[in-house]
Chain A
């Protein structure tokens, strides 16, 4: 079922990201672009699935900055456009976003960043809210699933009113949870895109789209923001629940508004505590907030990570002479933590402390017992690579070669499935991880430290999608400065971590059309690196290449390790080998092995048979990649090729 299939006006169970995508189509979006990143990816995926039918252009761009530029083109040509990314994507796009805010847009343009407080599927807790303030753009935040669809539609209208980008921020708990949503009607929209540029320099709708004259444009942008603040004052997305003069007022937004309402409910404080849920968070609707602050004695800000609403309110309150002194609680008095996700329990804890309520959700000894049981009773589940994952084989070779070379060589990486190379799953091989592509930049720097006497070998790793996203400039740099280091591209043929979205190296685009795949090997060669290719499942061949390249190579070297992801559609259900363990050969607990395969190599496909004290293959989850037969010191793991019928 696609997002077009819901009947006008019907109520459906939609995932937050589906609601956002449906809202965009209802608003008549025609251009959508993004870069995959959890928890945002399903928005573009849902739009791409209906692109043809709904007359949209949808793309997975090479990176977030380019995706924002692509979406801007749609707006400049008179089509409503949307751009989607995860929180840190906004950092990548921010350079263009700064300029776009100044130049302004034409047809409605909405930027949807999906934040990940608690870093559930991220390596940072970055927040896109602060970009709105920094770059002077309006910010709105849906607080539930219905708002996700309704606010997107409103955002397009708002954008057209002020001719600038509107930021609609989602979070993991909204994007990835599902709720009932009443859908609206689908528009008929087939405007022909035209880019008008003949008007004069200052003509926002017909002239060139530029940021100059800067002071003029900047003032214009700020005036637009003032107008937005006025609109926000009466927005229906700002709601208040509670008594007229609450003892304590919670000011909140987004998913935190649900945690707040639940906490008040659990503590039965609906007569004492009021909740002001703001849907429009930047610029702050000051008059509205002032009115509510004035009505209460104490204020508690419930928001995730850094203070945003709290700061904006306190700054505004400095001018509220008639409101009197209030007691503020939030980040600064540590009522609410500044890291990690919030939940109703955290809000309950804050409320009970501030209001001096004695509340214990469960008896103390029960809680203790629960804690002990959850530690001792629950099976230990480690973060690991999937069975048959090429990254396990790749890290195996890299680890073994670097360890044997014994010169303290190490690997610099970034974010991708392979980030867990820091852990036992990747034999603790990865030693730095930061933003996309940063492994190579760092390795390029380490490679130059050779001149200052550094002896260790620096190896960078990246995925194929990352290669296009942000490795290329770093590789150009490494070649330019002749850095002594090596780049390993884990080419698993797709943006695996976020769900196999296509990228410039794949043969289809976001909408499923056939495109020419860019060849990573040729690109590296054209840049001037010494380029080699290997199959990570060929352990011996790969290690030979690694030994040679790390030891004898000079300058920037590239090894492309090609092997599709174990979960890739082309591999699913197609095992190359049937694996089994010869129990008579398996050394089990005996000296000289110490259960090497299940303790060290640890593919989930290999399990320890406690009754017999031998290893065995879990044939249900083994993908038949055949790699483990190379690592058994006793040759006990056997493979048999599966014959195609």
Chain B
């Protein structure tokens, strides 16, 4: 069964499930993105389309994309399909920047552009509360995009635009929802003849949630000068706050207040670690450790890039302490369990409904819900 824009709007946008990844944008003139929101500009009359097929918030068949990308069924393990996991940080060859954690992502992208693993990179810059993805081709500019922007970024719209305008090996950095959209795209769900995967490397950022741009803006606009915002961080528990650093000052707001800005779509998301990326990167949250990343290598091309980047002095890796690994696994499994339980309760998964948000093998679903997964 294939569906189109009508169903996309009914299932996702009208139900407020859209997280603004932009997978449906830039493939046609009907969907556009603005300030983190995806809008249907006009009613398109097509009965099936890539917009529905690419969206990570409806009709995602985890086993199907897993098979296309990894040649195996969806893994119900806490951290998904993986080859290796380390701690990491940027190394001397990589440019300096306002990194979120260890600068691994920026360093990898800089290296990948330089050694031509990719011909372009989709990186996200900040304009106040608004996250703006851009196509970057100059490796010297990568560091300028460092640091996490908590507003949703329509990364995939820029991938689509890049693919359309002729780039053939596009590097993508995105939150797990965008990575699922990328997996959808890469698995050619609409059976386009002569399909070519235009992604060069896909890096997933760990993510528990992001923020709706306008709610983000509303929460902060009277408190700081958003145009001067430089960094947003969530210090590890038990801090329970979010910090906002501008060129002038830093303020701290309770997480509970910021959580009000979480889009509904995030609360149904099962993926914390970007399970369909080549490489996934997050913060190393370990006492005494600052400014380091956890890096998960998932595919051969991911492995190759990481190894080359280490050899060329762009990043360095080290074994991941068991404590950090179990902490991450628990957090990741909890996210899956929460989401799948909710999807089952609300009859939004598998054959509980006509057009489910997620389709996954019943055994995997059971494993996760009974918390039998894990490492």
Interface residues of A (CB under 8 A from B): 399-400, 403-406, 427, 591-594, 596, 599-600, 631, 633
Contacts and interface: CB of A to CB of B under 8 A. Distances in A.
A404 B37 CA distance: 8
29 contacts: A399-B41, A400-B32, A400-B41, A403-B32, A403-B39, A403-B40, A403-B41, A404-B32, A404-B34, A404-B37, A405-B34, A406-B34, A427-B42, A591-B28, A591-B46, A591-B50, A591-B190, A592-B27, A592-B49, A593-B28, A593-B29, A594-B44, A594-B46, A596-B28, A596-B30, A599-B45, A600-B29, A633-B28, A633-B29
| Range for the number of chain B residues in contact with chain A | 10 to 19
Nearest to A631: B29
A406 B37 contact: yes
A631 B42 CA distance: 13
Ranked nearest first, the 9 interchain pairs of A and B with the lowest CB-CB distance are: A404-B34, A592-B28, A633-B29, A600-B42, A596-B29, A594-B44, A406-B37, A592-B27, A594-B46
A592 B50 contact: yes
Interface in B180-236: 190
Contacts of A631: 29
A427 B44 CA distance: 13
Contacts of B34: 404-406
A427 B40 CA distance: 13
Nearest to A595: B45
A594 B30 contact: yes
A512 B37 CA distance: 53
Given A404-B32, A404-B34, A406-B34, A594 B45 contact: yes
Contacts of A404: 32, 34, 37, 39, 41
Main secondary structure of the interface of B (DSSP, over half): loop
Contacts of A600: 29, 42
Contacts of A400: 32, 41
Contacts of B42: 427, 600
B28 A594 contact: yes
Interface in B34-56: 34-35, 37, 39-42, 44-46, 49-50
Contacts of A592: 27-28, 49-50
B311 to A, nearest CB: 41
Nearest to A400: B41
Nearest to A600: B42
Nearest to B50: A591
B329 to A, nearest CB: 38
A591 B48 CA distance: 9
B5 to A, nearest CB: 9
A481 B44 CA distance: 42
Contacts of A591: 27-28, 46, 49-50, 190
A633 B160 CA distance: 13
A599 B29 CA distance: 12
Interface in B16-35: 27-30, 32, 34-35
Interface string B83-112: 000000000000000000000000000000
Most-contacted residue by chain A among B35, B37, B40, B42 (CB, 10 A): B42
Nearest to B13: A406
Given A591-B27, A593-B28, A594-B45, 6 more contacts: A403-B32, A591-B190, A592-B28, A594-B28, A600-B29, A600-B42
Contacts of A403: 32, 39-41
Contacts of B40: 403
A542 to B, nearest CB: 16
Nearest to A599: B45
A21 B342 CA distance: 77
Nearest to A401: B34
Q: With a 10 A CB-CB cut-off, give which of A399, A594, A596 has the most chain B CB atoms.
A: A594
B90 to A, nearest CB: 37
A451 B316 CA distance: 56
Contacts of B44: 594
Contacts of A596: 28-30
A541 B57 CA distance: 34
A405 B39 CA distance: 8
A588 to B, nearest CB: 13
A306 B40 CA distance: 45
A593 B50 CA distance: 11
Nearest to B45: A594
A400 B39 CA distance: 10
B53 to A, nearest CB: 10
A360 B20 CA distance: 63
Nearest to A402: B39
Contacts of A593: 28-29
A427 B43 CA distance: 10
A17 B212 CA distance: 61
Contacts of A427: 42
A592 B48 CA distance: 10
A599 B45 CA distance: 9
Nearest to A589: B46
B34 to A, nearest CB: 4
Nearest to A424: B42
